[in-house]
Structure 1
Amino acid sequence: MRTQNGESVLARVVRIFEAFTPEESALTVSEISRRTGLHVATVSRLVAELVSYGFLTRDADRRVRIGTRLWELATRASPTLSLRNAAMPFMEGVHDVVGHHVQLGVLDGDEVLFLERLTAPGAVVNYTRIAGRLPLHASSSGLVLLAHGPADLRGRVLDGSLHRYTPDTPATATRLRAVLAEVRRQGYAYCPGYVHPDALGIAAPVRDTRGEVVAALAVIVPNEAGASSVVPVVRTAARGVSRALGARTSQVGTRVTRVMAPRSFETRRNSSLSD
């Protein structure tokens, strides 16, 4: 069914869903109307119907949220479900060690989309959220995906506008090319203060059965001395996820939770500083 201007009802529903963001998950009908460009009456009618099916829900104050039924259907059909299931045991092992943030990201368009994140009370600042996005050039996960991604993707990013979050963000084409070359050479991304001065991102590639990079496993820890000791932990975990996906990797390692005896990043860091 199409409306008088030729736009289908489905297209309008999609616009309503896309009005929500990880940062703004509850909106009024008027806010949805402004964000979608749809008339308030149209939004009100469509929202009411979507609520009746459970795809949207209303709070006590009448603000609208994404409904659990939509989450259920999306999760059930998600092509990333097997990736997340393979990654979770290894992410939990890494989280036991670092005690801050562990996250799994995939390439979506010209951004990194985060499928999962584990965190802890008092963890270092982190802008990542589940179902949230970050630019490829600034985040450790994004740099891994960009370094191993298609040449035309790198061309678009290098030719585009590169937002500078901090003085350390690789926000020029020359600097970014050098960073990407280093990521490919050393096999991981090491990003001290790229998104926030207090945070360090470390990410390693996850490969599929063809050996192609399909995701990045990353940690966000305090940007301080001794943090490089976490690099082997992240790389081992990423290889473990790759093996769980059936990837043919050149290195054989043991299960990540066996490699990582210390229970926190601080314990591991202090131990390495005392050696």
Structure 2
Amino acid sequence: MANSRSGDSMLERFVRILDSFDAGRPSMSVATLARRADVPLATAYRLVDEMTRHELLSKEPSGEVRLGLRLWELANRSSPALDLRQAAMPFLEDIQSVVRQHTQLAILKDDDVLVIERLSRLGSVVNQAKVAGRMPVHRTAMGMVLLAFSPNYVQESYLARHPEAVAMVDPVTFDARRQLAGIRNQGYASFDGRVDTDTTGLAVPVLGRAGHAIAAIGVVLPLGLENLQSIVPVLMAGARGISRTVGELPQ
């Protein structure tokens, strides 16, 4: 696509418009969208009209716009995340039947944890994770287990970009690398009250052939649960089952 006077292409503007929507702002006015996407207002109106015609965006009676159903259709036809989710679902359901709280599947995407599935039940503890939502790596058990089982260069790059993560991960010695090594040694990550004060996050990696995490299974449980350690083998069995199903079982 041709570049605009500012030098960015229409495709770049198109992506920024889509990326402006999140769980906190699922809909907004075109003026707000233009500001969030850093697109001139006149251009935003034109692109919104075009994207609405193609059902990539939809307009509400109030005049606000939101993501359209066609995006959901396209994403669910074929994607690596969809294949992984489909392979994982039977194992997540088995885990959910045991923990009876929140069970979720996530991957490492850029510098975030991207949640691709979440199973919950009525009466479960509070949980900030949402499907297709992102969370900071160093604030979640899933993020830390994904980072711990990533190649060393991924860990070093993340810690270099996020110095605040070091203090968050290990506020006493500021040795995040030692804590990541500890997670690798024990095979899981567990943190109390890191996201919500009354919950414990517990996660294990889904490993690929090279021994690196291709995903993480996490559960969110009430703080102080007595049988916490008995849940770890359940998660590990599920993770191994997913690895086997997707053909990534480590040698």
Instruction: Indicate the percent of aligned positions where both proteins have the same amino acid.
Output: 39
What's the counterpart of residue 82 of structure 1? Answer: 83
Residue 231 to residue 185, structure 1, CA distance change in 2 (3 Å): same
How many Å apart are 1:222 and its aligned residue? Answer: 0.7
Counterpart-to-counterpart distance in 2, 1:150 and 1:245: 20
For residues 23-61 of structure 1, the C-alpha deviation after alignment (integer angstroms, 9 at most, x for no partner) is 211111111011122222211111011000000011221
For residues 128-173 of structure 1, the C-alpha deviation after alignment (integer angstroms, 9 at most, x for no partner) is 1111111222211111111111222212333323269xx9x52547
Structure 1, gaps ≥5 residues long:
251-275
What's the counterpart of residue 177 of structure 1? Answer: 177
Counterpart-to-counterpart distance in 1, 2:150 and 2:115: 17
Counterpart-to-counterpart distance in 2, 1:73 and 1:10: 17
Assess if the C-alpha contact under 8 Å between 2:139 and 2:195 holds in 1. yes
Q: TM-score, normalised by structure 2?
A: 0.91
What's the counterpart of residue 187 of structure 2? Answer: 187
What's the counterpart of residue 100 of structure 1? Answer: 101
What's the counterpart of residue 18 of structure 1? Answer: 19
Counterpart-to-counterpart distance in 1, 2:210 and 2:165: 33
What's the counterpart of residue 143 of structure 1? Answer: 144
How do 1:40-189 and structure 2 match up within 5 A?
A: 40-159=41-160, 160-162=162-164, 169-172=168-171, 174-189=174-189
Counterpart-to-counterpart distance in 1, 2:77 and 2:24: 24
Assess if the C-alpha contact under 8 Å between 1:138 and 1:195 holds in 2. yes
Structure 2, gaps ≥5 residues long:
none
Counterpart-to-counterpart distance in 1, 2:209 and 2:246: 7
How many Å apart are 1:216 and its aligned residue? Answer: 0.4
Higher mean alpha-carbon deviation, 227-236 vs 79-88, is at 227-236
1:5 aligns with 2:21: no
Q: TM-score, normalised by structure 1?
A: 0.83
Counterpart-to-counterpart distance in 2, 1:158 and 1:8: 32
Counterpart-to-counterpart distance in 2, 1:171 and 1:131: 28
Higher mean alpha-carbon deviation, 208-217 vs 106-115, is at 208-217
How many Å apart are 1:17 and its aligned residue? Answer: 0.5
Assess if the C-alpha contact under 8 Å between 1:211 and 1:247 holds in 2. no
What's the counterpart of residue 198 of structure 2? Answer: 198
Assess if the C-alpha contact under 8 Å between 2:200 and 2:222 holds in 1. yes
CA RMSD of aligned residues (A): 2.0
Counterpart-to-counterpart distance in 2, 1:152 and 1:211: 15
For residues 84-134 of structure 1, the C-alpha deviation after alignment (integer angstroms, 9 at most, x for no partner) is 111011111111121211111111112211111111222111111111111
